[in-house]
Amino acid sequence: MPDLLAALDLGSNSFRLSTGRIVRHNGCARVETLTRLKETVRLASGLDADGQLNGEVTDRAAQVLHAFAAHLQAREVSQVRAVATNTLRIARNLDIVLPRLETALGYPIEIVSGIEEARLIFVGISHDLPDDNATRLMVDIGGGSTEIILGQNQTPLHLDSLPMGCLSFTHQFFADGTITKTAMAQAVQAASTQVAKVAGPYQQTGWQQAYGSSGTAKGLLAVLQETGFAPEGITTSGLLRLKHQLEHDGQVRLDTLPGLKPARVHVLAGGLAIMLGIFQTLGITQAMVAGEGALRRGVMAEMIPSD
């Protein structure tokens, strides 16, 4: 179908597919999202100590991509771009894994750098925001990496990708599902140490608005709002209240955390630690709200013809 686009984000925790079409209004072309699919693959969990991606998780990934291929074929999508992020960036047996995944999908898979991932996230969030000259801070916590971006209108000013994610932190600090004050403090400190390496330019430039995109931010936002810990959005005080709740329970419990989806139980503690480290280290004072679209939206936005 003409003007029908598809973008795939092969992340370290989840694989996501969005389809959309180009709509034009008053001479301006935009992407209207039509369908969204998401499957939890936990790709990063398949990396061994030598950086090899094991067969079990590769099989799981290939099965998901085969299903995505059927979805694309049924809709006769005209343009498809698939991008992969941190886990496939660092997998040492990519020469074996990538051809298998591309065969399952039926399309090439592009391994993007961390900075390119951050840029595409900025494009995706900015696509649906007005050009009001506000300086915007954006945070995207993935399964294996975290992107932090500062930009104004359609121009990114600072782009960074840090080697920490909700899945990798969960395995490092909360592997058995137990949450203690000590483990949480270590995780927050580890996140703060990473953020401190890049914090200077962000703090010097400053920002008026803050956006969180993808699963971790939206999951935290839903929990903070439903529990009443921070109805206005993600805040330092709300994150601290959630941290205290998890430390009190000793684990992630669905019955004490309304708004939490079962698929995010496994990675909530790791994602919370990273977000809290970001808030405290950067000194974010405004409530962070949801940024729509993110990586997939950015991919599709750049598929719009320039004419």
Q: State whether 26 and 100 are in the same domain.
A: yes
Total structural domains within the chain: 2
pLDDT of 124 reads 94
pLDDT given for residue 28 in this prediction: 82
Domain membership flag for residue 66: yes
Tokens 């029908």, located at residue: 4
* Rounded Cα gap, residues 190 and 269, in angstroms: 13
What gap in Å lies between CA 128 and CA 65, rounded to an integer?
Answer: 28
- Are residues 281 and 136 both part of a single domain? yes
For residues 272 and 170, membership in a common domain is answered with yes
Q: Are residues 191 and 255 in the same domain?
A: yes
pLDDT at 2: 57
Measured CA to CA, the distance from residue 235 to residue 283 in angstroms comes to 11
- Which residue has 């280290």 as its token pair? 281
Do 76 and 139 fall into the same domain?
no
* Confidence (pLDDT) at 307: 62
Q: How far apart are CA 163 and CA 146, in angstroms?
A: 7
144-180 tens-digit pLDDT: 999 999 999 999 999 999 999 999 999 999 999 999 9
For 175-178, the CB contacts below 8 A with 24+ separation are 177/251, 177/252, 177/266, 178/250, 178/251
All residue ranges of the chain with pLDDT < 50 are none
Provide the residue range defining the domain that includes 68.
4-114+295-301
**Within a domain: residue 23?**
yes
Sheet strands side by side (includes 146-152): 155-162, 146-152, 135-141, 209-213, 289-290
Is 93 a domain residue? yes
Per DSSP (E only), the strands in 142-300 are: 146-152, 155-162, 209-213, 289-290
The whole-angstrom separation of Cα 80 and Cα 97 is 20
What lies within 8 Å, CB to CB, of 172 at 6+ separation is: 187, 190, 270
CA pseudo-torsion sign 280, 284, 290, 291: negative
